[in-house]
Every structure is written in C-alpha cells, then in structure tokens.
Amino acid sequence: MEPRRNFLAAAWEGLGELVRGFATTFIHLFRRPITEAYPEYHRPLPERSRARIILTRDPDGDERCVACYLCSGVCPVSCISMQSSQREDGRRFASWFRINFARCIYCGLCEEACPTLAIQLTPHFETCQYDILTLVAEKEDLLVDHGGKNRDYNFYRHAGVTAVGGKGEHLQEAKPVNRRSNLP
C-alpha cells in the first residue's frame, strides 16, 4: 500500500498549479490571437481541400463530363446518380446529373475516379441548408464555366473517337488505314 502523503504538502502543491494556470491564461490576454473570427473572416483554403463538388468545362468551353458512371460507381455513399446519353453531335454527355450533398462525405473518390477531370471538389464548404431537398444539386447547379484545377486538359483530344475531331486527328494518331489499298 502506498504511504499516505502529507495533506498540507498536497494542498500547497495544488494551489501552486492553480496559480500557474491562471497566470498562463492572464499572459495570453496580451498575446495576438491565433483563432479567426468565422464567419466575419474567411480563411483561404488550399486549392486541393475537399468540399462542394463542381462539374468543369474543357478549354473549348464544352462540358467535360461524359457520364461514364465511374464517379457514381466509386461513391461509397451512392450520392451521385446520372443518366448518360448521346448528344446530337455524337458527344456522350449526362442528360441529368444529380449529387445529393446531404449524403456526400466529401471523400474525393469521385474526383480521383474521373477520367476527364470533369468532377472536382472545391474549397467551398458552406453548404448548410434548412431544407434538405435544397442539398440535392442538379447538373445546372453543379456546372461551372471554367476548367477548375486543370484548365488545359481536353479528354476528347486524346480519346481517338470521332465525337470530337475526325479519325486520325487526335493527339498521337495516324491517318486512317485505307482498306482498299494493299500498298504499305
């Protein structure tokens, strides 16, 4: 069994700690605060921080999203749904695209899965709403008019399909094979 300590010594020690604590607090009254007064002050967040999702556009100003269903497939909470279809010019696009932000956990897997850099997470995190249905964002709410983090990439320039550009006109492509000629 532990020997019983002197009661007075223990009280004296406690009092000392108390005074030290108050002293620390008192000193901090005269220091510059490290907290920021949100919402009066908005801290600039790093560009890669993960919050509200946007759908970006390619350098030609067209929608980047080809509705390939990869983001909805990878989403761990199934908050993304869409319907892919074909535009008159042959481009694949989302006829509707919906993200339920009430369900989104901002994990960023959709952004990682996106092969066309269309879906991107932005630092804009203030998405609180009173009505839960207003957290369901449709395509027109998500689509922005810029390229987001990467403004140069254009998926269709690499794709090798005729939806944008003819055969052989994409990057690193040879002219189409002439199948009526046996010449090399």
Considering the complex, state which of residue 29 and residue 177 has its C-beta at the smaller distance from another protein. 177
Considering the complex, state which of residue 49 and residue 83 has its C-beta at the smaller distance from another protein. 83
Binding stretches for another protein (CB under 8 A): 66-70, 72-73, 83-86, 92, 95-98, 115-116, 133, 136, 138-139, 155, 158-163, 167-168, 172-177, 179, 182
Reduce the DSSP state of residue 92 to 3 states and report it: strand
Would you say 87 and 63 are in contact if contact means Cβ atoms under 8 Å apart?
no
Give how far the C-alpha of residue 168 lies from the chain's centroid of Cα atoms, to the nearest Å.
34
CB of 61 to another protein, least distance (A): 19
Q: What are phi and psi of 93, to 5 degrees?
A: -150, 170
CB of 56 to another protein, least distance (A): 15
CB of 170 to another protein, least distance (A): 8
CB atoms within 10 A of CB 68: 18
Considering the complex, state which of residue 66 and residue 104 has its C-beta at the smaller distance from another protein. 66
Peptide bond into 176 cis (omega under 30): no
Considering the complex, state which of residue 16 and residue 176 has its C-beta at the smaller distance from another protein. 176
Round to whole Å and give the CA distance between 32 and 40: 17
CB of 33 to another protein, least distance (A): 44
